[in-house]
Amino acid sequence: MDCRIAHELPGRIRLKCRKGHAFAKDEAGVIESLLEAQDGVLDVTASHVTGSILVLYEPDARGGRNREKLLAAVAMIDGYLENESLPAKYREPGIVSGTCALFAQSVFNRLLPMPVRVAINAARFLPFLLRGLKSLASGKLDVSVLDASAIGASIILGDVGTASTIMTLLTFGELLEGWTKERSKRKLAEGLALSCDSLWVERDGVQTEIPASDVKAGCDVVIRIGAVIPVDGTVVRGEASVNQSVMTGESLPVHRYPGTSVYAGTLVEEGELLVRVTAFDRGTRVSRIAMMIDDSVALKANIHGRAERLADAVVPYSFILAGAVFLATGRLRKAVSALLVDYSCAIKLSTPLAILSAMREGARLGIVAKGGRILEKIAEADTVVFDKTGTLSVASPSVAKVIPFGGWTREQVLRTSACLEEHFPHSIARAVVKKAEEEDLKHSEEHAEVEYAVAHGIASVIGGSRAIIGSEHFVLEDEKIPVSAEEAAAIGALPSNQSLLYLAVGGRLAGVLCIEDPLRDEAKEVVTRLREEGIRRIGMLTGDNERSASYAASALGMDFYRSSMLPEQKTEYIKNLHATGAKVLMVGDGINDSPALGASDVGIAMKESADIAREVSDVVITMGDLKSVLTARRLASGVMRRVYGNYVFIVAINSALLALGLGEVITPSASALLHNVSTIGASVMSMMPVLRGRDSGQRDD
């Protein structure tokens, strides 16, 4: 393959196909598979869009042999791609080709002369032996020691067939786990990888193209219409509509202008920007998210940790049983039967596969969990707490009415409110700005730098007067803005299902905006079904006013609610729930929800959530439907039932095999075969979808 090295670091190399030598989409998988098969290669990502291949490999201190072998393999790729006889199923990375090769090798070995078979199996046994010795050297008597002992004893007894069968099935189990893990990682991190080999930068008014490796913080990068922004930075010139859905979940593009921030992975749909770089490549937010997702797959659920501990804990008893059988009968072959059947292998393999498969299934359903341990916590939760605005209510509230006071006109109130609110990505702020735009009210900045008080409101200076906008608590109580009897009566007559946004300028109330924030259509059904799923208490904590909160809580049948809550009050309430023994799942979307999301046993951020809420949460919903919370609960409960069901199956089947082996009803070879077949069976079942049809949270047709 005709490639050049576009960028290289120790253990990391990016290759770029020369013009006219790019590869097709269906060839990307072949390239990844071929290169990943090379010694020392850790990971390969081939992009047909950019014609680049990113390879992570183990740096070899002995003259860079891994690098040389990698480049040699790249040069040979064209020959593989031109092989039209290659079956389609081998042209995609997967488990089929590896499984076929593994079992074909096992069958072929049985046709060889016995001395050759013994030599081959002795060589295959060496990695298992080394793992077992390593565990013993560290003072552990675990599954690795048991596997090595069972295989070694079979070889010593001359039962090469049994030894070969054990090693083949154990290798297949490792292959199965590795394949599932990689598929899960790719699914979870899908769409987050960026590929960029060169960028246009502006220096002293002159635009030049430079290699991506030369880009540093402080460079001014030119981003044109239709381009994916490859850096994190601040806009220094130009205006554009930027699609930030990959970062914030916003369905509509946002307006970016000088002084605002942009993030790598977002798309310029209209306009052109000059962006001063603050982070590039692995330092960008999208790269950190990708790495976080990648790392999260390695996080083991508590149930996974218990499974491993249980698996290792039963190993000594297997040796004790084998020793007792040998002392009682004096027959080594019969004692080996106790080593060939154990509970640990199946427990240790099936549990992580079940967790990883459930995480992959969740990602497909729009539920990204940051680690397997989160699934167990979701299943254990007995209390669910919702935020209101943007969570139980729709993600795009609207301004229903604008009421002016103090000599202000309706248009002045709306224009000024939009001018202040346009700086912040909360759903209510977007509603105000959208209403002003619909009425063609220009709201260009006429104020000094704004101050944002989390969950309170916004303060600035307009025309020399202090302007504030926010909740009743912020404007009337904290800022001590007076309200006349006539104004109070007008406010009191407003509908109870609408939220109120207060605007005050120069120490006087200028107006009130009525925000119509209807509850999501599915909210009532979700609350009802969560109770059916075992949730004992469901409540709502909101910064909204009492009457709006009361209306929502009554309509949804909440067990409890609190209104006009500050972030620290939400957090304190969650801690108080913990003090009563509750296991709390919190669902929110705003900056003000972030502390409470972090304090909960499980924090779930909605699709339209603020960035910080998504970062501190344990689960991010990407579908935008509140039913995803119900789906997450069903998925977590289902996978936990599967894990414990596997325990029962594994204990039952292996106990039966152990009894049959000791009773000489079946041979050690048959015992080992059936044991490993049951292990593979449990593992395959662990990979099956947990949810089907109605259980996936989808609407009934």
Domains of the chain: which residue ranges? 3-93, 97-194+285-355+638-701, 198-283, 367-393+520-622, 398-516
Any bridge partners for residue 458, and if so which?
452, 469
**Identity at 511, one-letter amino acid code:** G
Give the span between the Cα atoms of 142 and 316, in whole angstroms: 8
Residue with tokens 């977590």: 636
Tens of pLDDT along 456-500?
678 888 878 889 998 888 899 888 999 999 999 999 888 877 878
Distance CA(624)–CA(395), nearest Å, equals 8
Q: Which pLDDT score, from 0 to 100, does residue 200 have?
A: 86
CATH of domain 398-516: 3.40.1110.10
Could you tell me if 511 and 504 are in contact, meaning their C-beta atoms sit under 8 angstroms apart? no
Q: Which helix (H) or strand (E) holds 416?
A: helix 410-421
Q: What are the residue numbers of the active site?
A: 387
CATH number of 3-93: 3.30.70.100
Widest distance between CA atoms in the chain? 104
Radius of gyration of the chain (CA): 31
pLDDT more than 90, % of the chain:
20
C-beta of residue 282 within 8 angstroms of C-beta of residue 196: no
Q: What are phi and psi of 28, to 5 degrees?
A: -60, -40
- Which alpha helices (DSSP H) does 84-230 contain, by range? 96-109, 114-137, 143-156, 160-188
Q: Which CATH number applies to 198-283: 3.10.270.10, 2.70.150.10, 3.40.50.12590, 1.10.3720.10?
A: 2.70.150.10
Measured CA distances, 489 to 504, 512, 630 (Å) = 18, 13, 41
In tens, the pLDDT along 633-661 reads 999 999 989 888 888 888 788 788 877 87
pLDDT average, residue stretch 130-145 = 86
Joined together, the tokens standing for residue 518 give 């209807």
Looking at 245-371, list the stretches that DSSP marks H as alpha helix, in order from N- to C-terminal side: 245-248, 285-296, 302-313, 315-329, 332-340, 344-364
CATH number of 367-393+520-622: 3.40.50.1000
Query: What does DSSP say about strands 560-562 and 537-541: parallel, antiparallel, or unpaired?
Result: parallel
**Residue whose C-alpha is closest to residue 333's, from 631, 690, 684, 669:** 669
pLDDT for 13 beyond 90: no
Q: Amino acid identity, residue 360?
A: R
Strands 602-605 and 619-621: parallel
Spatial neighbors of 100 by CB under 8 A, at least 6 apart, are none
Structure confidence at residue 445 as a pLDDT band (50, 70, 90): low
**Alpha carbon 449 to its chain's center:** 36
Q: Give the integer Cα–Cα distance in Å for 203 and 627.
A: 50
Q: What is the pLDDT of residues 219-246, one digit of tens each?
A: 999 988 777 788 888 999 998 878 765 5
Per residue in 60-108, pLDDT tens?
Answer: 544 456 777 777 777 766 544 444 333 333 333 445 666 677 777 777 8
Cβ contacts of 579 within 8 Å, gap of 6 or more: none
Taking 70 as the threshold, does the pLDDT of residue 187 lie above it? no
Distance CA 633, CA 382 (A): 11
* Average pLDDT of every residue of the chain: 77
CA–CA gap between residue 608 and residue 367 (Å, rounded)? 14
Q: Is 560 helix (H, G, I), strand (E, B) or coil?
A: strand
